[in-house]
Structure 1
Amino acid sequence: MNENVFISLDLGTSNVLAYVAGQGIVYNEPSIMAYDNYTNSLVALGNDAYEMVGKTHEGIRMVIPIRDGVISDLEATSDLLKSIFARLRMTNSWKNSIVLLACPSGVTELERDALKKVAMSMGAEIVLVEEEVKMAAIGAGLNIDLPRGHLVLDIGGGTTDVALISSGEVVVSKSIRVAGTSFDMEIQKYVRSEYNISIGEKTAENLKKQIGSLVKYPGERVMQIYGRDIVSGLPKEARITSDEVRNVLLNAFSKITDLLIEVLEATPPELAGDIMKLGITICGGGALIRNVEKYFYDIFQIPAKIAPDPLNCVIEGTKLFQKTVERRLENGMYKKTRMKDFF
């Protein structure tokens, strides 16, 4: 392991996080890129590109290379990783590296292979793919190696994953493409239908973060927003209440509730008892929505808690999982990844 650098990546729809052994988390920025349409060159990425959302001209196109845990643009994903590590002056770290990629449980083998190919094109020697929700559980501080059932709910930007984990592995898992980005889209649709105003992704996200909730809370307020009147095309403003945003979120969360029910129905009886005692651990950006833990407790009458630092659970889990990777390497459990393995 000495000659191989350990790199782990949480390639999310909302954010990309990168960890390099010995250096910690070296990158944590939005997974969005801006390209010049005329030269097809990369103009900006991360925070710089995010600042450009909704404010560009026709000569610039915004690209999110990874949507719902799936590479939607292979070339852009490669550009993204190369640009991140070039900016950090760490491109050489990839040579003969061991790369751990965290991805949603619903990702297909073809999609996993696409992720592996990107890492290999950067020079990785061994490429491993683990479920995000498993890494999130480790990052949340759960001892998943014990023969005890842990129910983990990871509400990310593109996907929501639910998994029952025991004895170090996932027993049952389900994934749905309903998460942070789709919450924002539903808020946009609501404002358009109720107020005839077209608002941007950032405005919808701000509504969700600032006044969104799943259960009524003291001091609820109204937020003033600005957009474009879809009839006249002129700028227009509206006042949106917490109650309105909550109703939109509750509708979207009903699908996540159904997903949890599916996992609970497939849970072995002995592990069901553990869930009653240990409850649900909530990770990801969706854990930051006000009263999310109370919402799930009210429905299932099962204790629900938000993980410490829910946004970074996955990448923190990959850091801790490094020791397991090292142990398995010593036992010869991993082999070098080769391009011909995919054909």
Structure 2
Amino acid sequence: MAKHDLGIDLGTATFVVYSRTEGIFIEEPSVVAIDKKKGQIIAIGHEAKEMLGKTPDEIEIIRPVQDGVINTPEIIEDVLRYFLKKAKKGISFSKPIFVIGIPALTTDVERRAVKEAAEKVGASKAYLVLEPVAAAIGTEIDITKPNGHMVVDLGGGTTDIAVISLGGSVMRESIKVAGQAMDNEIIKYIKKQYRFSIGEATAEQLKKEIGKAYSMEENIELEITGQNIKTGLPSSLIINSDDVFKAIKSVLGEIISKIKNVLEKTPPELAADVMKNGIILAGGASKIRGLDKLIFEKTGVKTKVTEEPHLTVAKGTGILLDNIELLNRVSVD
């Protein structure tokens, strides 16, 4: 395999890329800025996200992956080219292999489009792996054994829940409710409760810095800026963890309900394995304080947040780069 081989997590909220030589070397928001007049990308990642809510009419901010769906395949090609350009240092004549983690909700058409985009930018071959499977591999579980593990991957746009055994998903469910849904509920709650308007970036900041999923977690305060709806003027407001908890409670309820649904449908032998092994949480949204405690309280199954959960899928794709036999076994068409 070539030294420029890449493992890629095409997440709704974050693009994470693993290089054979550098490990994880890209971790940027899944946001692209486009000049509408020229039809050209002018920024990707952090630079594009900083433009949110601040652009003139001729610049459009796009999320290529929305709610677990790749809605702009043509932009994914430019994104992959950007990744490869950052990975290649010096002259290289070898064509890289891409292992790409994709949302479980992607269609056959979307998958073909991603493969074609990878080939157009110079990949010799593109393997696609469902994100919950890649996340399980990224936690260094041996998924080839006849031993059931439940992985809940809470990303930006979707929550993917899978029971994995013998190299595949025995049970799998996905819902379009995850980190961004939490952000939206925070925006709505603050607008209704305090007559105060904030944007996506502030809502995400509240979730990450003071958010909690379990009522008994410590209550922390954070001062934010936004617009006082009554006066129409810029203002500041102090929000606490209890506010965030109340705002996202309905989202958490949907996620818990779906986890229970998968547990109920899981064959008895595998359910016994899950009870013994516990539930593994991955994905950026799983970092919200107390989520593991909430799931344990509601399901009775011990739950653990994996180390660096936002990087788990990319780590899994990186592991697969070095295990071609397992890669052939878990990749999807």
- Structure 2 length as normaliser, TM-score? 0.91
Aligned pairs for 1:116-195 (under 5 A) are 116-195=115-194
The percentage of counterpart residues that share the same residue type is 36
Report the more deviating stretch, 110-119 or 131-140: 110-119
Identify the structure with bigger relative contact order (alpha carbons < 8 Å, sequence gap 6+): 2
1:240 Cα deviation from its structure 2 partner: 2.0
Structure 1 unaligned spans of 5+: 338-343
Which residue in 2 is equivalent to 1:234?
A: 233
CA–CA distance in structure 2, aligned partners of residues 87 and 58 of structure 1 = 30
8 Å contact from structure 1 (residues 145, 167) kept in 2: yes
8 Å contact from structure 1 (residues 94, 123) kept in 2: no
The one-letter code matched in structure 1 to 2:78 is D
**Measured at CA, do residues 230 and 184 of structure 1 come closer, stay the same or move farther in structure 2, by a change above 3 Å?**
same
8 Å contact from structure 1 (residues 224, 240) kept in 2: yes
Aligned pairs for 1:1-343 (under 5 A) are 2=1, 6-89=5-88, 96-217=95-216, 219-325=218-324
CA offset digits 1:106-141 (Å, max 9, x no partner): 222122112212112212232221110011011112
1:5 Cα deviation from its structure 2 partner: 5.4
1:278 Cα deviation from its structure 2 partner: 1.0
CA–CA distance in structure 2, aligned partners of residues 25 and 246 of structure 1 = 32
Report the more deviating stretch, 197-206 or 37-46: 37-46
The one-letter code matched in structure 2 to 1:175 is S
1:39 Cα deviation from its structure 2 partner: 2.9
The one-letter code matched in structure 1 to 2:54 is K
1:99 Cα deviation from its structure 2 partner: 1.9
Structure 2 unaligned spans of 5+: none
CA–CA distance in structure 2, aligned partners of residues 141 and 100 of structure 1 = 17
8 Å contact from structure 2 (residues 31, 63) kept in 1: yes
Report the more deviating stretch, 251-260 or 106-115: 106-115
8 Å contact from structure 1 (residues 20, 26) kept in 2: yes
The one-letter code matched in structure 2 to 1:313 is T
Q: Secondary structure at the match of 2:82?
A: helix
Q: Secondary structure at the match of 1:43?
A: strand
**Measured at CA, do residues 106 and 218 of structure 1 come closer, stay the same or move farther in structure 2, by a change above 3 Å?**
closer
Which residue in 2 is equivalent to 1:340?
A: none
**Measured at CA, do residues 207 and 137 of structure 1 come closer, stay the same or move farther in structure 2, by a change above 3 Å?**
same
1:254 Cα deviation from its structure 2 partner: 0.9
8 Å contact from structure 2 (residues 68, 104) kept in 1: no
CA–CA distance in structure 1, aligned partners of residues 149 and 108 of structure 2 = 26
The one-letter code matched in structure 2 to 1:120 is E
1:94 Cα deviation from its structure 2 partner: 9.5
8 Å contact from structure 2 (residues 157, 178) kept in 1: yes
**Measured at CA, do residues 122 and 95 of structure 1 come closer, stay the same or move farther in structure 2, by a change above 3 Å?**
farther
CA–CA distance in structure 2, aligned partners of residues 17 and 256 of structure 1 = 24
1:273 Cα deviation from its structure 2 partner: 0.9
Alignment length, in residue pairs?
A: 332
8 Å contact from structure 1 (residues 7, 100) kept in 2: yes
8 Å contact from structure 1 (residues 94, 122) kept in 2: no
8 Å contact from structure 1 (residues 213, 289) kept in 2: yes
Which residue in 2 is equivalent to 1:341?
A: none
Task: Name the Cα RMSD after superposition.
Answer: 2.5
**Measured at CA, do residues 6 and 94 of structure 1 come closer, stay the same or move farther in structure 2, by a change above 3 Å?**
farther
- Structure 1 length as normaliser, TM-score? 0.89
**Measured at CA, do residues 219 and 180 of structure 1 come closer, stay the same or move farther in structure 2, by a change above 3 Å?**
closer
Report the more deviating stretch, 241-250 or 93-102: 93-102
The one-letter code matched in structure 2 to 1:103 is I
